[in-house]
Amino acid sequence: MDIALAVIGGTGVYRLAALEDVEARQVDTPYGAPSGPLRIGRLGGTRIAFLARHGEGHALPPHRVNYRANLHALKQAGATRVLALNTVGGITDAYGPRVLACPDQLIDYTWGRESSFWDGEGEALHVDFGHPYSPMFRHKLLAAARVTGVRLVDGGCYGATQGPRLETSAEIARMRRDGCDLVGMTGMPEAALARELGLDYACLAIVANWAAGCGDAQEITLAEVLDNVAAASAGLPELVAELARG
């Protein structure tokens, strides 16, 4: 199957509404079932596969997502490039609500997740992960943003926390000291699993709110998060279509 690009949608992005001629494909993998059906269709003349990371009804919290099945299902379908949409909180000044960012580094604070395809048999996997997001694919994402006029902050460090609860102010203060600009709950082990599979992988971080103790952070509501995600995602169809053509 000729798939130009696979997109994994995060909180607030459960469909790519602009997809045409959509086929819903239920798949299974050696690692179990993915979060939901692969929705494969056309966008701007190119073939796109979309998967909702949390399920289309947001039934799966971050620590219960079967990241291995999700990535393997996309590769089985023929994808070689994966754009991860991650809804995040902003920590440093350039990453306020409704900002789109393309981070270039991450720190993993998660625990207890299935973080490798290695299952104890054969040679252990030790992938190079110094640059967790594929540099050339990031370059293409940034170029697509310039072509389409979508404002995208280049760089930043994504801190992946366990969830599903949000972080304390003290935890965010520690993350700031560690060098994190963004905080989310789904960046790992997804990025590392993509690397193990040889997939080009980049993150498009959608800032939904200030993290605890940052900016003018107040009590975070789901309505606020979804409103900010919708506003920040307005240019996504054009950006994704341009990236798929590149």
Kindly tell me if the per-residue pLDDT of 119 is higher than 90.
no
For the chain, where are the alpha helices, taking DSSP H only? 67-76, 135-148, 169-178, 190-196, 222-232, 236-245
Q: At what angle do helices 135-148 and 236-245 cross, to 10 degrees?
A: 130
Cβ proximity of 58 and 65 under 8 Å: no
Ligand-binding site membership of 53 (annotated): yes
Q: Are 177 and 217 in contact (CB under 8 A)?
A: no
209 is in an annotated binding site: yes
pTM score, whole prediction = 0.94
- Are 197 and 71 spatial neighbours (Cβ–Cβ below 8 Å)? yes
Two tokens, residue 239: 């950006």
CA 116 to chain centre: 17
Give Cα 231 distance to the centre of its chain: 17
Per-domain residue ranges of the chain: 5-117+129-245
Is 80 annotated to bind ligand?
no
> What pLDDT is stored for residue 184 in this prediction?
97
Asked if residue 63 belongs to a known ligand binding site, the reply is no
Mean pLDDT, range 215-238, rounded to an integer: 85
- Is 131 among the annotated ligand-binding positions? no
Query: What local confidence, expressed as pLDDT, does residue 224 receive?
Result: 85
Above 80 in pLDDT, residue 124?
no
Tell me: the pLDDT tens digits for 32-79? 999 999 999 998 889 999 999 998 888 899 999 999 999 999 999 999
Residue 175 marked as a ligand binder: no
Task: Give buried/exposed letters for 198-233 (b at 16+ CB in 10 A, else e).
Answer: ebbbbbbbbbbbbbbebbebeeeeeeebeebbeebb
Three-state DSSP at 51 gives strand
Give the pLDDT of residue 217.
65
For residue 112, the tally of other CB atoms under 10 A from its CB is 7
CATH class of the structural domain 5-117+129-245: alpha beta
